[in-house]
Amino acid sequence: MPTTVTLIPGDGIGPDITEATIRVLDAVGADLVWDRQMAGASAAARYNDPIPEATLDSIKKHRIALKGPLETPVGEGYRSVNVALRKTFDLYANVRPAHVILHGGRFEKVDIVIIRENLEGLYYGAEHYIRIGDDPKAAAESIALITRYGSERAIRYAFEYAVKHGRKKVTLVHKANILKYTQGLFLDVGREIAKEYAGRVQFEDRIIDAMAMQLVLKPENFDVIVTTNLFGDILSDLVSGLVGGLGLAPGANIGPTAAIFEAVHGTAPDIAGKGIANPGALILAACLMLDHLGDIARAERIRAALHSVIDEKQVLTRDLGGTASTSQFADAIIARL
């Protein structure tokens, strides 16, 4: 039986990279049926709603989605369409693997998976202005909510991920020296969970500022990283920069009843509609989706084909130093499948 997947091409470069990704999945013979839906600015323009009910129903029904980048239209009542989708489907863990694919850069041995708590912290969304005298915006306040429950399931996911993928170490990144309650709770929960995995997975913790330096000096020292929402957002862009940029950085949002796979990058408005975006990140996100569905063989075939295209350096998109278009890059992968 083929698996039905909700497909959201998205905005900006989304439609281009989605088309390329589907062609690659077809070429490898992935047993998938697409339920095409809209979200983001394109959905707002068409249905007056950036997250139409039909899109939500489709994800609810199929429990798995592949999503291009989404633009959040101004004044539609959402701070971020992406964040709203994560909340709606309780997608508590964001998984972003990064390893060197484009060789010859500054680092050769980076192979890091960042697991970011995806729903809490400063992204919880409780933010407001405070009026003082006649200045309605004299101050602003934001609540960084950390719960034991939310921390526990993200951190446990990181340890389980390490066990399942044969990884040796989990590094918990925090700022508990200053934010003693919120970040302190996240660290305490990490230390408790680490005890259950003693002898199987090593555990260490790092303060975010020290971690930022160590990641750019010695990224090969790190394996699985687990951290709170905002730190995870920042560190995953940093780490994607260590291994060749956003064009090759995939992500998975995992929840108890649904999973949404996506590229880490945004809509890239500067290159939208030009047919030159790198589809690599979304293709690799589709590979994470195939892994999730248990079709590891096809995921590995796609990854091997993509790696060989990049190793040969004949057909590379502009962000990787070449001149190829989105579809030429996809064609080169398909030729190697």
Q: Give contact residues for ligand ATP (rule: CB under 6 A).
A: 13, 69, 71, 246-247, 265-271, 277-278, 281, 319
Does the annotation mark 313 as catalytic? no
**Nearer Cβ to ligand ATP, position 253 or 267?**
267
Cα–Cα distance, 194 to 207 (Å, whole number): 17
Active-site residue among 11, 67, 78, 123? 123
The Cα 236–Cα 128 span in angstroms is: 27
- Between CA 249 and CA 333 the distance in angstroms is 17
Q: How far is the CB of 120 from ligand ATP (least distance, A)?
A: 21
Residue 301 CB, nearest approach to ligand ATP (Å): 22
* Whether residue 209 lies in the annotated active site: yes
Of 285, 294, 231, 242, residue with least CA distance to 263: 285
* DSSP one-letter string for 216-258: HH-GGG--EEEE-HHHHHHHHHHHHHHTT-GGG-EEEEE-SS-
Q: State the residue number with the nearest CB to ligand ATP.
A: 266
CA torsion angle 267 271 277 281 (round to 10): -30
CA distance 23 to 34: 12
H or E element at residue 117: strand 111-117
| Residue 233 known to be catalytic | yes
Minimum CB separation of residue 88 from ligand ATP in Å reads 19
306 in Cβ contact with 333 (< 8 Å): yes
| Residue 282 beta carbon to ligand ATP: minimum distance, rounded to whole angstroms | 8
Q: Which C-beta is closer to ligand ATP: that of 44 or that of 281? A: 281
Smaller CB separation from ligand ATP, 176 or 286 = 286
Our CB check for ligand ATP shows the closer of 71 and 223 to be 71
- Does the annotation count 291 as an active-site position? no
In the complex, what is the shortest distance from the CB of residue 126 to ligand ATP, in angstroms, rounded to a whole number?
Answer: 23
- If the CB atoms of residues 112 and 284 are measured against ligand ATP, the closer one turns out to be 284
Residue 203 pairs with which residues in a beta bridge? Answer: 170
Q: Which residues are catalytic?
A: 123, 175, 209, 233
